[in-house]
Amino acid sequence: MMSEDNHVEPSEHALTIPTCHHFDQLETEAAPLGSACERCLAMGDTWVHLRSCLYCGLVGCCDDSKNKHARAHFEADGHPLVQSIEPGESWKYCFADHFLAR
């Protein structure tokens, strides 16, 4: 019987850098479709920060917001890449890989 012990030394794990191939496969980054979370507006709710989907441009609210519409869009439509559209911020994020790109 095979042992299930796939033990890896902690030191090897610590050096593992998260990787994401979604950015490589993305041909064109979609521009943000707006400057508000339409789903929150429709519900009469507010948000904290806005993210824009790099695949289709849908604008949704961040994980600090009550409704987390950017993440909901990823879970519903499978679009993992977003960018921050907050003034002065230019980072991008992959929900699938928990990968932050600057």
Q: What residues make contact with Zn ion under the rule CB under 5 A?
A: 20, 22, 37, 39-40, 47, 53, 55-56, 58, 61, 67, 69, 79, 94, 96-97
Following DSSP, what letter does each residue of 19-45 receive, concatenated?
---HHHH--SPPPPS-SS-HHHHHHT-
Query: Cβ closer to Zn ion: 1 or 94?
Result: 94
Cα 94 → chain centroid: 4
Q: Closest CB to Zn ion among 39 and 92?
A: 39
Structure tokens at 66: 């009550």
**CB closer to Zn ion out of 6 and 25:** 25
Helix (H, G, I), strand (E, B) or coil at 53: strand
**CB 27 → Zn ion: shortest distance, Å?**
14
